[in-house]
Chain A
Amino acid sequence: MELVRTEAENGLISLSQDAPLDGPSWLKDLQDKARAEFQALGLPNRRVEEWKYTDLKAAMKVAFQPVDQGDITQAQVNELLGSDLAELSTQALVFVDGQLNEGLSDLSVGEGVEMLSLKAALADDVSWVKPIGTVQQNERDAVQALNLVLMQGGAAIKIAERQEVSKPIHLIFVSTASSESSVASRLFFDIGAGANVEIIESHLSLQNQASQTNLVTEVLVGDWAKVRHVKFNNDNKESVHLSNVIGKLGKESDYGLFQATLDGGLTRNQVEIRYDGDEAKADISGVALLSGKSHADMTLVMDHAALACESRELFKTVLDDEGRAVFQGKVVVQPGAQKTDGEMMSKALLLSESAEFDSKPELEIYADDVLCGHGATTGQIDDELLFYLKARGIADAEARALLIQAFVGEALELIENDTLRDYVIDQTLAWYEKA
């Protein structure tokens, strides 16, 4: 049978003939495999179980091309970040159109912190980046395979054992293109035992052009390490943003990931967490605020393969217009992973009749002594609450904004860094004013 390929698939296959990054033979082998996987799979579509509600093949008409690194100044980056975020004291790496911009980045070697551009780390075959492409336990999907071949740049970051990293590491991805462009990036973190670090990821666009982003983040969290990771993106309405966070947690480690999505075109935030050591904890939460025809998909796999680990997920989605959100949360408890404690909750607030929320929680449990629960709710703004606020002189629009804020607030509380939390709150407030 001959495969019928879409224009986008043909474009991606031809792009993937040459991998942009040069690396050691182990990488080339991985890339050869990944290239073949993508050719066999094509873009994920609704007939692929995990992509049932997000038909990428149908949504992505053409494959945009990567562009050369454009010009941008520190002042422009700061303006895009907004004053709160720009003033936050961080160690920042700035990726411009997929390439690490060394002039804008702070690559100074702090105590116990090693930051390398992915390009340099692979070219030099740095030994500790060898797990790249293999952190994942499950089978790669087509998007992950594509990233392995098409990745243009990114960073490899190593935190030494017991290192308390004082400033958050801020990864700033900026697109400067004046027309459609694509970016494929990869981040690799090796976080030493007992280390403590905060990671911030911002995705920004200078000219608000449509982009296709494919980002894979691999995080190895050492025993007893604590990681707080916050990611936000606010893409153009024609953009495709495909993100994968793949984490592996050591004994008694603690990983918190919070993702905020504002509008965008098609966004998929996919997360796979493997509990490798006993008593590890992860909190994977987020908010999505979607208007127009924005589509956001949150797909999670929490894979418990050790004793007494804890998973917490809280997602709040607000949908206006024809916004569409998908939540797929799967908790797997492997044989022997006794005392697993998993709680997953996804709540959507629908502001319009034409908005849609699809929720698919899944529990796959192969151990008997576990505590796992999940819930999902979909609702509208409560008229009784709205009337109460109006009966206190608060006008309709402001009353609604307060109630939306209250709805997402429960999730936003999970962002520990005050400045970041205020920043995300301000972004959400700006969204209601627009909506």
Chain B
Amino acid sequence: MLEIKNLHVEVEGQPILNGIDLVIPDGEVHAIMGPNGSGKSTLSYVIAGKDEYDITDGDILYNGESILEMDPAERVAAGLFLAFQYPIEIPGVATMTFLRTAINAVRKEREQDELSIPDMMKLIQAKAKDLGVKPDMLKRGLNVGFSGGEKKRMEILQMALLDPGMCILDETDSGLDIDALRIVSEGVNALRSETRSMLVITHYQRLLNYIVPDKVHVMSDGKIARTGGKELALELEDAGYAEYDEELA
């Protein structure tokens, strides 16, 4: 269970999140929608532990414990995973090497045995196949020369491999055509379980046709402006964000 309590966040003295309250129980999928610049990515980065943000008030608890003092790698071992809106290209780090390093690092922190290289390869290749990640991509530099859709699939592959309890997906749908969207959504849905929660951030309702949420929150100006069921997404699709966006209003 993820609990965000009265979270206030600033960057260089500029307030961005202004008191977020959000609880995502085990097994639930919540969506956050909202206009650009409302603070959705900031929230995801703060949960993941990026250090350029100042948390001026509030707390984030995962399974009852505050994560604010944990470094990003520890949060992953604890079960949090963020699929980035803009996955980073790292030339010179082979994708396969990166995946192996990440899996073993997390297993070690969780006090699980290291996987042997053949077992590791089998695991990676099987999950890669499910997500339509071509073997050739695993040999290339991480995300280097990958299309937008390939990068997003790679994010979901990492998510599947690191076995998180709480998945945060930041605009995983952006830049995907309809086929890629379906593959990625199937990958995500396959990971839904009673013990795993998800926070799906999106600007568009479309993704939520594939990944059907238990709750939808609307974020505006660094706050949760409204919370409802999955039908709220459809309402937003029709009405737009004008109501929630000062610049559009």
**A375-420 interface (Cβ within 8 A of B):** 383-385, 387-396, 398-399, 402-403, 405-407, 409-410
Contact A393 B88 (CB under 8 A): no
**B65-105 interface (Cβ within 8 A of A):** 71-73, 76-77, 82, 84, 87-88, 90-93, 97-98, 101-102, 105
Q: Does B106 belong to the interface (CB within 8 Å)? A: yes
Set of chain B residues within 8 Å of A405, measured between Cβ atoms: 92-93
Given A387-B50, A398-B105, A402-B98, decide whether A392 and B76 contact each other with a Cβ distance below 8 A: yes
Q: Does B49 belong to the interface (CB within 8 Å)? A: yes
Q: How far is the CA of A402 from the CA of B50 in the complex (A)?
A: 19
Most chain B CB inside 10 Å of its own CB: which residue of A387, A390, A395: A390
Q: How far is the CA of A403 from the CA of B109 in the complex (A)?
A: 21
Number of interface residues of B (CB under 8 A): 28
Set of chain A residues within 8 Å of B82, measured between Cβ atoms: 391
Q: Does B18 belong to the interface (CB within 8 Å)? A: no
Given A391-B49, A392-B158, A402-B98, decide whether A385 and B90 contact each other with a Cβ distance below 8 A: yes
Set of chain B residues within 8 Å of A398, measured between Cβ atoms: 101, 105
**B109-135 interface (Cβ within 8 A of A):** 109
A387 nearest CB across to chain B (Å):
5
Main secondary structure of the interface of A (DSSP, over half): helix
Contact A388 B88 (CB under 8 A): yes
Q: Does B16 belong to the interface (CB within 8 Å)? A: no
Contact A393 B106 (CB under 8 A): yes
A57 nearest CB across to chain B (Å):
39
Set of chain A residues within 8 Å of B97, measured between Cβ atoms: 402
Contact A394 B92 (CB under 8 A): no
Contact B98 A403 (CB under 8 A): no
Contact B98 A392 (CB under 8 A): yes
Contact A393 B50 (CB under 8 A): no
Set of chain A residues within 8 Å of B76, measured between Cβ atoms: 390-393
Set of chain B residues within 8 Å of A402, measured between Cβ atoms: 93, 97-98, 101
Contact A410 B77 (CB under 8 A): no
Contact B73 A393 (CB under 8 A): yes
Contact A393 B93 (CB under 8 A): no
A257 nearest CB across to chain B (Å):
22
Contact B106 A388 (CB under 8 A): no
Given A385-B88, A388-B88, A396-B73, decide whether A406 and B101 contact each other with a Cβ distance below 8 A: no
B192 nearest CB across to chain A (Å):
21
Q: How far is the CA of A385 from the CA of B88 in the complex (A)?
A: 7
Contact A391 B72 (CB under 8 A): yes
B210 nearest CB across to chain A (Å):
24
Q: How far is the CA of A388 from the CA of B50 in the complex (A)?
A: 9
Contact B90 A406 (CB under 8 A): yes
Set of chain B residues within 8 Å of A383, measured between Cβ atoms: 52
Contact B92 A384 (CB under 8 A): no
Q: Does B162 belong to the interface (CB within 8 Å)? A: yes
Contact B92 A406 (CB under 8 A): yes
Given A390-B71, A391-B72, A395-B73, decide whether A407 and B92 contact each other with a Cβ distance below 8 A: yes
Closest to A395 in B: B73
Q: Does B2 belong to the interface (CB within 8 Å)? A: no
Q: Does B48 belong to the interface (CB within 8 Å)? A: yes
Most chain A CB inside 10 Å of its own CB: which residue of B88, B106, B158: B88
Say which residue of A384, A387, A391, A406 sits within 8 Å of B93 (CB atoms).
Answer: A406
B6 nearest CB across to chain A (Å):
24
Set of chain A residues within 8 Å of B98, measured between Cβ atoms: 389, 392, 402
Q: How far is the CA of A406 from the CA of B141 in the complex (A)?
A: 9
B143 nearest CB across to chain A (Å):
9
Most chain A CB inside 10 Å of its own CB: which residue of B84, B102, B109, B158: B102
Q: How far is the CA of A241 from the CA of B78 in the complex (A)?
A: 49
Set of chain A residues within 8 Å of B72, measured between Cβ atoms: 387, 390-391
Say which residue of B71, B90, B109, B162 sits within 8 Å of A396 (CB atoms).
Answer: B71
B158 nearest CB across to chain A (Å):
6
Contact A388 B90 (CB under 8 A): yes
Q: How far is the CA of A405 from the CA of B93 in the complex (A)?
A: 8
Contact A394 B93 (CB under 8 A): no
Given A403-B93, A406-B93, decide whether A394 and B50 contact each other with a Cβ distance below 8 A: no
B135 nearest CB across to chain A (Å):
20
**B4-58 interface (Cβ within 8 A of A):** 48-52
Contact A393 B90 (CB under 8 A): no
Set of chain B residues within 8 Å of A393, measured between Cβ atoms: 73, 76-77, 102, 105-106, 109, 162
Contact A388 B84 (CB under 8 A): yes
B19 nearest CB across to chain A (Å):
25
Type the 1/0 row for A350-390, where 1 means its CB is closer than 8 Å to any CB of B: 00000000000000000000000000000000011101111
Set of chain B residues within 8 Å of A409, measured between Cβ atoms: 92
Contact B92 A391 (CB under 8 A): no
**B139-153 interface (Cβ within 8 A of A):** 141
B2 nearest CB across to chain A (Å):
16
Q: How far is the CA of A264 from the CA of B93 in the complex (A)?
A: 27
A349 nearest CB across to chain B (Å):
11
Closest to A404 in B: B92
Set of chain A residues within 8 Å of B90, measured between Cβ atoms: 385, 388-389, 403, 406
Say which residue of A384, A388, A394, A410 sits within 8 Å of B105 (CB atoms).
Answer: A394
Closest to A387 in B: B50
Q: How far is the CA of A360 from the CA of B190 in the complex (A)?
A: 56
- 14 A-B contacts, Cβ less than 8 Å apart? A388-B87, A391-B84, A392-B98, A394-B101, A395-B71, A395-B73, A396-B73, A399-B73, A402-B98, A402-B101, A403-B93, A406-B90, A406-B141, A410-B91
Chain A residues with a Cβ under 8 A of chain B? 383-385, 387-396, 398-399, 402-403, 405-407, 409-410
Additional 6 contacts, C-beta under 8 A, given A392-B105, A398-B105, A406-B92 = A385-B88, A391-B50, A392-B76, A394-B101, A403-B93, A410-B91
